[in-house]
Structure 1
Amino acid sequence: MLLEVEDLCVNYGRIEAIRNVSFTVEEGEVVTLIGANGAGKTTTMKTVSGLRPVRAGTIRFKGEDITAVPPHERPVLGIAQSPEGRGCFVGMTVTENLDMGAYARTDRKTPKVKEDRDRVFGLFPRLAERRTQIAGTMSGGEQQMLAIGRALMASPTLLLLDEPSMGLAPKLIQQIFDIITEINKQGTTVLLVEQNAAQALKRAHRAYILETGEVVREGTGEELANDPAVKAAYLGGDV
């Protein structure tokens, strides 16, 4: 098992954001967490990447307990996140942003980094066209591509994607999800948090539904996409 989250509890002050959340991600999968706003999806993702402290529970990665590992060490272990809101370095160029993604790598002075940058440009040709452009002058869709590309530059075993379609036009949403599928086909395991439940379930091998900080249902992407209750609650009655 690549990632095991067991009985995870996280608080914001006295407020219990998630409680007793458990899920797994196997190597090679796309696993998605879906739920309404405030369900605890982003908190769960931030906790896996080390940005939120754990009140109780355990996070294991490749069989090792990483619950107390600080966030700056998790990319070295093989976990990289594209955060909600993109978080691009707006004063840097596209290439400089991508190079920042490789900052924690021990092989960052080797040709492998250029190979990975070329891979990102292959996945996102628009970034290749704008490699010298300042990130802050780019569209929201281009910045989302850059945020995902920067995370890939860490050469992760597990890629965490938090709301990659947020604020994007429908045509770009389809493109982003096609690229996520391609990233997975190329060998990167993906944990996806997404409000576009229809697209997320269509791409996911397995999925978990969060409500008010708890996992209330799990299954394959296809099972949940065809579940009448899930359709009614998250898919507008249909996929």
Structure 2
Amino acid sequence: MTTTLLELDGVGAHYGRIQALDGISLTVNEGEVVTLIGANGAGKTTTMRAISGVRPISSGSITFDGTDISTLRADLRVVRGISQAPEGRGIFPGMTVLENLDMGAYSRKDRKELPAEMDRIFELFPRLAERRSQVGGTLSGGEQQMLAIGRALMSKPRLLLLDEPSMGLAPQFIAQIFRIITEINKTQGVTVLLVEQNAQQALSRADRAYVIETGRITRSGTGKELLADPSIKEAYLGVA
């Protein structure tokens, strides 16, 4: 039986007078990897910010695990089980890897479990284990992205929001990041909503996908369906 974990119904959002989202509706079911693809400025990041509570919505509703969270503070959404690795990584550059990971667990009451959680993160990201005492700002771009995802996982989320995790990374890091995203979903049971410009990688790993254009959802289907769609290939995969 399919359980809907997240639902956006007619969500609108503005930056001043500019309408960034115009009636977005989408669902993410428990255990899925869902991806949102679109061009720059289409509204992908605004959608993620609306879900995490960083960007207020002007219309519609956001429901998580059966509860309307449309007006809930961002920090309380983390407590409920929504965690985000934001676009641009957003790590604390002056803190060590360990300190960054500990910051990700600020909302947790079960402090005794944190060492075991850290161990799980280091199993996922052995490179971070090697650099646990290194200051975040001195890590490579790929390592910083691993740290951003690891920090988001420290809150033990039910829903992990990943905003452009492959941006600016070398090809070997991109492949590694996407393998880890699949592993997080399959082995840890974390539901993933992924915003990504690398449509090939994102669609090939997604259960379902949505296409967003100028703040509206224009297409949806399984990852395989959209990968095979000629118009999607031309617009987002560079295949004429």
Query: TM-score with structure 1 length normalisation?
Result: 0.98
Q: 2:105 aligns with which of 102, 106, 110?
A: 102
Per the TM alignment, residue 53 of structure 1 is displaced from its structure 2 partner at its CA by 0.6
Q: Which amino acid aligns with 1:193?
A: V
Residue 72 of structure 1 is aligned with which of 75, 79, 90?
75
Q: Which runs of 5+ in 2 are unaligned?
A: none
Tell me what 2:153 maps to.
152
Please give the residue correspondences for 1:214-233 in structure 2 after superposition, counting only pairs within 5 Å: 214-233=216-235
Displacement of 1:115 in angstroms is 1.4
Task: Give CA deviations for 1:121-155 in whole Å, capped at 9, x if unaligned.
Answer: 00000000000000011111100000000000000
Structure 1 CA distance, aligned partners of 2:163 and 2:10? 21
Rounded to whole Å, the distance in 2 between the matches of 1:79 and 1:170 is: 29
Counterpart position of 1:55: 58
Hey, what's the Cα distance between the residues in 2 that align with 1:25 and 1:118?
29
Which of 3, 7, 10 is the equivalent residue of 2:6? 3
Q: Which moved more, 1:229-238 or 1:70-79?
A: 229-238
Percent identical across equivalent pairs?
65
2:237 is matched by which residue type in structure 1?
A: L
Q: Distance in 2 between matches of 1:117 and 1:35?
A: 34
Q: Deviations over 1:198-222 (max 9, x none)?
A: 0000010000000011000000000
CA distance in 2, matches of 1:35, 1:145: 23
Cα deviation digits, residues 174-214 of structure 1 (max 9, x gap): 00000000000121000000000000000100000000110
1:202-213 counterparts in 2 under 5 A?
Answer: 202-213=204-215
Distance 1:21 1:188 in 2: 23
Could you tell me which amino acid in structure 1 is paired with residue 60 of structure 2? G
Unpaired runs of at least 5, structure 1:
none
1:159-187 per-residue CA deviation (whole Å, 9 max, x = no partner) reads 00000000001111000000000000121
What is the rounded CA distance, in whole Å, between the counterparts of 1:75 and 1:53 in structure 2? 16
1: distance between equivalents of 2:136 and 2:129?
Answer: 13
Residue-by-residue CA offset, 1:53-100 (whole Å, 9 max, x unaligned): 110010000000000000011110000000000011011000000000
Q: How many residues align?
A: 236
**Paired AA for residue 230 in structure 1:** I
Aligned with 2:56: secondary structure? coil
Distance 1:155 1:225 in 2: 31
- Partner Cα separation in structure 2 for residue 113 and residue 212 of structure 1: 41
**Residue 42 of structure 2 corresponds to residue 42 of structure 1:** no
Amino acid at match of 2:149: I
Counterpart amino acid of 1:126? Answer: R
Aligned residue number for residue 143 of structure 1: 144
- State the TM-score, normalizing by the size of structure 2: 0.97
Aligned Cα RMSD in Å? Answer: 0.7
4+ residue runs over 2 A deviation: none
> Following the alignment from structure 2 to structure 1, what is the Cα–Cα distance between the partners of residues 170 and 180?
15
